[in-house]
Structures are given as C-alpha cells and as structure tokens.
Amino acid sequence: MFILRLLFFKLKYLFTGNNWYNITCFIDNKKFRSLEKIIGFKIYNPKYYLKALTHRSFLEVNENVNPSNERLEYLGDAVIDLIVGKYLFNKFPDKDEGYLTKTRSMLVNKSALYDAAERINLDEYLLVSENFAKALPDGSQSVLSDGFEAIVGAIFKDKGLIKTEKFLMKTLLEPSFEITDYLKDNNYKSQLLEYVQKKHLENLEYIVIKEEGPQHKKLFTVQVEINKKIWGTGNGKNKKSAEQIAAKIALQKIKS
C-alpha cells in the first residue's frame, strides 16, 4: 500500500511538476513512514506536511521550494488555542474565565510546545539549511515550537478538527497534565506586575545592562527595578527570558 502511494506521488509530480509531491527530494521513505506513525494516519497530501517541516533557511539553498512553514505555523497557533480552550472549558466546568485563560497560556507557551515537539522527535524531520542546522541547538526551542504549530496547521488543513484534536490529545494535552509544572504560573513578570499594582507601587522597569556574544548566540543581562531600587538580575539568550529570571528573583526577595 505504501509503495502504491509513493507511485501515486511520483506520477502526480511528473504530471503536475509540483515539487511537494517529489517526497524523496525532501525526506527519505523511511522518515516519511515514521512521520505517518507520529501523526497517526496515512498521508495522501504530502505538500501540507512537507511545507510544515520547511524552515525558511531551507529556501535559501533550495530555490525550487516555496514557501516556508510560516503560514501553517500561523494557522496551527490559532487551532491549538481553539482546541486547548475547548478542552479546558469541558474539563473544568466550575472554573472562571480567568483560570481557564491562565491555564491555557501555560499549555500553549513556547516551552510546552517545545516539549511536545521533543516527544515526537520533530528535530529529526525539520528541513533546514546546513548552516542553520549547526546553530540549531542554541535556538531550537523557538524553531521546534514553531514547527510543532506548523504540523498542527498541516493536520487541520488536511484532515480537519477531529483528527487534529486527537493528535493534540496524544502529544500535548495528556502529557502536559501528567507534568504538574505546566499548571504552575511561570509568568513571573505578570506576577511581579500584579504585586506592584496591588501594593500601589510605581516605576517597575526592566533594564538591559549587558549584551554579550556574537549575533547568533547572544547573552542578555537584565535588571528589574521598582522605584529605582534593584530587586533582581537575570541572564538569558533573549531579553524576555532574562526579564523572566530577573522577575523570579525579585519575587523570591519580596516573599523572603
């Protein structure tokens, strides 16, 4: 059956000239079959999934491929929000919208989506340029979480909502609820802001005090100040992560 599908794709490519049907131009047959096992069904429209796996860097060395996975990433982001929102609405009938919104944000943040991508070994399937692949470990969280969103977008586009829900239950929702850390509020900047507002304090400010390293591997140092007093300092690969660490340290000091 798999051989017949490959033959069908080959004929489709020969008659249409559409590169998305020329599967072996992107990944080998073994990986393609493995991808089918991961998503849970046979693929008859490979273009959606190959697009989902195509990082923009791949286009730089493959001019006959267009476009990258960014449109599917956009679609997948919206679909994940919908499915997770529906799931939480049904799972917690007595919780208010504030709790549901906060819990959803924990389940769909970059860290949670990165973990979901890791579960399915998405890094083994992503199509990236050779140069980008060398730097991938340093920025893999963002690339893999974006790739996971794109795969979700591909499944939705190809198979619809029910199949997409099934995939997300297996790869994101059920595993996340087994890991209690996902249900903790890790948005320390938000928590610190709530504290400052509750205590009627002023002048909460995050200041970048240092940038180190080459452009592709920067390290940021950020201080958080309240009323011009330094409460915490954090380091991170980007400003946002450094700010979160600084806010976490500030909260620890406040509560101690």
Distance CA 195, CA 112 (A): 26
SS3 content of the chain, % helix, strand, coil (to 5): 70, 10, 20
Q: Pick from 161, 173, 186, 156: which is nearest to 116 by CA? A: 173
Q: Which among 115, 149, 165, 243 is annotated as catalytic?
A: 149
What is d(CA 173, CA 181) in angstroms, rounded to the nearest whole number? 13
Cα(49)–Cα(148) distance, integer angstroms: 11
DSSP state for residue 215 in the 8-state scheme: G
| Degrees to nearest 5, angle at CA 132 with 127 and 137 | 95
Active site residue 123: no
Q: From the centroid of its chain, how far is CA 33?
A: 23
Residues 148/63, Cβ–Cβ less than 8 Å: no
Catalytic residue among 73, 77, 165, 243: 77
- Is 81 in the active site? no
Of the candidates 141, 161, 139, which has an alpha carbon nearest to the alpha carbon of residue 152?
161
Residue 236 neighbours by CB distance under 10 Å: 17
Catalytic residues: 77, 149
